[in-house]
A and B are shown apart, each in its own frame.
Chain A
Amino acid sequence: MLQPPLAPARFWRLSVAGAAGFLALWSLAALAGLTSRDFLPAPWDVVARFAQLAVEPFAGYVLHEHLASSLQRFGMGFVLAVSVGIPLGLLMAWFPWVDRIVSPAFETVRFIAPIAWVPFAALWFGTGIGGPVLIIFMGAFPPVLINTYRGARQVDRKYIEASQMLGASSWRAMTEVLLPAAVPSIVAGVRISAGLGWQSLVGAELIVASSGVGYLMVKGQASISTATVMSGMVAIGVTGMLIDVVLRRVQRQIEVHRGL
């Protein structure tokens, strides 16, 4: 039988025990002195380093400046992916000939890992902003396109036929029937896109960037400072989570608005 939920007290005891056990093991490993503290810092070393990065520039900037430059790149790539993906998905759902042209190309490109665009990104854009944006775009684009397309294809034919009978043009049918009906699916796709885009950004910054959290981690790696690398991981993880929380709230709002 599937177990009933634990009593809150027991749940919290176990959770605290799990967290404490993890931190204790980590601290012991660090304190045992088998390796240098630079190599394996204790948890509080990472916290201290994180606080230090926030006030003292490392790799050219303080932590929040790195974050700002990462977020700026992410925003550009993500907005580009959404603003190409949604219209293209709608066009593919509406005109079969667009579908037949775009689908094979898209299926081929989709299997290329976004990170594999790094060499071309460097070749085409040098160290400019275009490189990371291209990589984020490649990561974030597929889910928006697929979800828009699927959402639009699932629209009940009745509505489309009714709109056409009432004399709606292709443009109006797409923007006033297909698009609104596909919104829940699109929003779900946008959320996945944001996650994948953020992941691709990190990869891009490890290789083609001279600022950003990924770059900070590379510099930390080069100076064998595990605490710096871990601070970067924390910053990336927390920011990614915040982006998802915001988008989830938007999704919830839309669902509530539509009575779903």
Chain B
Amino acid sequence: MSLATPKTSLPARLGTALLALAVVVALWHGLTAGFGIISPARFPAPAEVLAALQQITVEGYSNARWHEHVLRSVILVTMGFLVASSIGVALGLAMGASRAVEAFVNPIFLVLRPIPPLAWIPLAIVWLGLGDAAKMMVIFFAAFVPSVINSYTGVRQIDRPLFEAAAVLGIRGARYWREVLIPGALPSIFTGLRLSLQASWTTLVAAELVGAVAGLGQILNQGAQDIFPAMILVGMLSVALCGWLMTLGLGWIERRVMPWRAP
């Protein structure tokens, strides 16, 4: 995907993409294995990466096979993200709807907000060790803050006439939330969810890098310890692939939930 909107047809774009990929792989092979300009101890050749990929999918690497590493990380992120974002969105909506809730929660939030997600990792390890509980805690804080902020701003950005119309029509209670507040705030809520998901993914990988039994970060960690560049690259590409697929998934949900905003 180019940063600009593409205008050519799909088969043509696919052809160009394949050609570009072939050129990149050829260049990569030339630089590493072919002419040895980049030493294999620094960056792996394409063939080595394929071999590493085969090794991890068939025999396994660092306690588990590839799909087990991926599943473990993806399940942890999904669970942590779901818990954190549902609490976060609810709190953000409440803060947006009620000035009293906002005033009450704000001081705590002012403290939590500037702390980078990754900075929770040492605290989580002190409190919960290297297991899944610590990972959940880290993901929770990473995902919580963006979903609160964006749900809150979402409510505050709803057009005034909408509120006035709702008041005139006597919409209140549960209907007010379901038909005015939540739909009005949805675009911003989804912006928050996307940021939350990204933050959870990055933070989980970091937490696994620091210490884990299995997971994508553990592939990276073990690869670094074994000085196995090909496996490190496999780990990095897996991190990118999963992050990308999860973002796509969220985008798909977003289009289902807000059909009126579909381009």
Chain A interface residues (CB < 8 Å from chain B): 1-6, 10-12, 14-19, 22, 39, 92, 99-100, 103-109, 111-120, 122-124, 146, 149-150, 153, 198-200, 202-203, 206-207, 214, 217-218, 220-221, 224-226, 229-230, 232-233, 236-238, 240-241
Among A14, A112, A206, the residue within 8 A (CB) of B122 is A206
Please state if A14 and B100 are interface contacts (CB–CB under 8 Å).
Answer: yes
Please state if B232 and A221 are interface contacts (CB–CB under 8 Å).
Answer: no
Chain B interface residues (CB < 8 Å from chain A): 1-4, 17, 20, 24, 41-43, 97-100, 103-108, 111, 114-123, 125-127, 155-156, 158, 160, 163-164, 166-167, 201-202, 205-206, 209-210, 217, 220-221, 223-224, 227, 229, 232, 235-237, 239-241, 243-244, 247
Among A19, A92, A118, A220, the residue within 8 A (CB) of B107 is A19
Complex alpha-carbon distance, A14 and B105, angstroms: 9
Q: How far is the CB of A16 from chain B (nearest CB, A)?
A: 8
Complex alpha-carbon distance, A203 and B114, angstroms: 15
Identify 16 residue pairs between A and B in the complex whose beta-carbon atoms are under 8 Å apart, listed by A's number. A14-B100, A15-B103, A17-B104, A18-B104, A92-B3, A103-B2, A107-B1, A123-B41, A123-B229, A207-B206, A217-B119, A229-B126, A237-B115, A237-B116, A240-B116, A241-B114
Among B3, B107, B117, B241, the residue within 8 A (CB) of A99 is B3
Chain A contacts for B155, CB-based, 8 A? 2
Q: How far is the CB of A28 from chain B (nearest CB, A)?
A: 16
Closest chain B residue to A218, Cβ basis: B122
Q: A123-B42, A236-B116 are in contact. Are A226 and B123 (CB under 8 A)?
A: yes
Please state if A233 and B206 are interface contacts (CB–CB under 8 Å).
Answer: no
Complex alpha-carbon distance, A16 and B106, angstroms: 10
The SS class assigned to the A binding surface is helix
Q: How far is the CB of A63 from chain B (nearest CB, A)?
A: 15
Closest chain B residue to A124, Cβ basis: B42
Please state if B108 and A18 are interface contacts (CB–CB under 8 Å).
Answer: yes
The SS class assigned to the B binding surface is helix
Chain A contacts for B236, CB-based, 8 A? 112, 116-117, 119-120
Please state if B3 and A118 are interface contacts (CB–CB under 8 Å).
Answer: no
Q: How far is the CB of B80 from chain A (nearest CB, A)?
A: 15
Q: How far is the CB of A224 from chain B (nearest CB, A)?
A: 6
Which of A17, A104, A113, A232: most chain B Cβ within 10 A? A113
Please state if A111 and B243 are interface contacts (CB–CB under 8 Å).
Answer: yes
Among B127, B167, B224, the residue within 8 A (CB) of A226 is B127
Please state if B3 and A103 are interface contacts (CB–CB under 8 Å).
Answer: yes
Chain B contacts for A230, CB-based, 8 A? 123
Please state if B103 and A6 are interface contacts (CB–CB under 8 Å).
Answer: yes
Chain B contacts for A19, CB-based, 8 A? 107-108
Chain A contacts for B229, CB-based, 8 A? 120, 123
Chain A contacts for B164, CB-based, 8 A? 1
Please state if B107 and A199 are interface contacts (CB–CB under 8 Å).
Answer: no
Please state if A116 and B117 are interface contacts (CB–CB under 8 Å).
Answer: no
Complex alpha-carbon distance, A18 and B98, angstroms: 15
Chain B contacts for A103, CB-based, 8 A? 1-4
Chain B contacts for A233, CB-based, 8 A? 115, 119-120, 123
Closest chain B residue to A243, Cβ basis: B114
Please state if A123 and B224 are interface contacts (CB–CB under 8 Å).
Answer: yes
Closest chain B residue to A110, Cβ basis: B240
Chain A contacts for B125, CB-based, 8 A? 221
